[in-house]
Structure 1
Amino acid sequence: MHAPPDPLDTLAPRLPSPLQEVEDERFTRRGVRLLLKRDDLIHPALPGNKWRKLAPNLRSVAETGHRRLLTFGGAYSNHLRATAAAGRLLGLRTVGVVRGEELAGRPLNPSLARCAEDGMLLHFVTRADYRRRADPAFHEELRARFGECAVVPEGGSNAAAVRGCALLGEELRGRTDVAAVACGTGGTLAGLAAGLSAGQQALGVAVLKGGFLPDQVRRLQLEAFGGTRGRWRVEERFHGGGFAKVGAALSDFAADFAERHGLPALDEIYVAKLLYALTRLTAEGAFRRGSTVTAVVTGQSWPPAP
């Protein structure tokens, strides 16, 4: 019996992702070198940490023979879009359980419309039901409704995904002092920190409020590696009011940063918050002179929530 095709080969990612130096006086005047880890260039449909987290899960789905994948996300979830795209490319059926029953029957926003175009079946649930997204009993209810399927958690963050993200840290060994990433569910930070070498530090910039990320990262590292790994910390001050909350000042910063450095429009939900945080932290003297800071560009631009 032939082994199923490896999604890593089928989807042909660009790995390792490029590392780009940018000259920005807000960093250079503080003696800080800024690099961009261009994970947004890994794959046009599954950029950044979505590729790194989904690929191990897609391999597991292929190995088990499942042809349907069910996962969870909000109305502007990058993870849902990436899962839908992967399903289209690999011939998998996908189901997206979307937080917010009030969205059902309304015109789809551009993010969810892309999911639907890629063949994802969207199932809107109440916020109370969505809080059950990690409950095995809820998963069985969903399987009874949609048929046998593999279930991937919100954001794709599970032990397999964390181990996949450790490769990101390994690609940065010896290249930086601090590796920074925007954090939603904590899976990328958990893996990044584990992959770095001794003496390097991972910094997670929270894009949601709530203060839950440190516990989440520790839990994910325990599940993936049996204990904590690497040096890491979470910066909670730059979420801008919550997930997908984007004010005029952040939009102006994102547009200016992209223009200064010849970059495509920045993803404002994650990447702009990360770069804004690093700019502020540098001004505050958080990084020693002579150090190198790397910002992981985890995704592409997408319209933020209103």
Structure 2
Amino acid sequence: MNQPALPLLYAQHLARDRRRSAHTVRAYGATAERLVAFLQKHWGGPVTRDALGKASAADLRAYLAHRREDGLTNASAARELSAVRGFLKFAVGEDAELPRLKGPRVKKGVPRPIAPHEAVALAETVSEEAREPWLAARDWAVLLLLYGAGLRIGEAVGLTGAVLPLGATMAVTGKRDKTRIVPLLPQVRDAIEAYARQCPYGVSRDAPLFRGAKGGPMPPGVIRKSIRAARTALGLSDRTTPHALRHSFATHLLGRGADLRALQELLGHASLSSTQIYTAVDAAHLLDVYRNAHPRA
């Protein structure tokens, strides 16, 4: 029996051993496949673990140049290089010395939060466009979880009926299967309970809480598509995405005096450095307020 290809083994390793998200597994697995396909042509021979152990910086630069032809930005190229390094470490061993290759310089972007009234208007518009009342209740509940509890879209649609009955807090499983406790505002609890009462498929502990129109798990793409339509109708920026609602949750909490460490716990960030970006967001917001309101600005 043939051994599975290295990119497939790598994807299995990420999912099973590293507990990476499904999105990360797909993205990194795809990079591994692209790298192997490129090196087969580049070297004119099979790409084995031994061959990968002899890959040079010139080989990797050639691969990145090849990917740049597809229109990769600096940020995308940096992510691609990170995935390549992870694959090589897996293929040739964690202790192996990889080729030294400096990644492209990436300007760190600051998340763009949206105002509270815009978040509410967005949620209302999405729910109003739903085909049936129970779908409207579902979309309203999901969007309130993003803005009112700071959940990632994947975390929200990944909830099961086991979260019911709701209390003042809820356990959420995030990246790398880490569980955190998030507080629930009364409005968020009410929205989830209203949806659960209307859902025609019922709610059971082991089944997805949020259902698709045909009863299966709710695909995250449904919310993304609805938000795209709603932001166009409201004249909001194309940066208004499901993740922008999470950014807004964090920024508005920080603006009201939330501690960075507490915010890190609420967001489920593994590193405080991931949370510190919101200090820049808040500073930018204060500067905007100053420029718009101060007579000498």
TM-score, normalising length: structure 1: 0.29
- Which structure carries more relative contact order (alpha carbon 8 Å, separation 6+)? 1
Greater Rg over alpha carbons, structure: 2
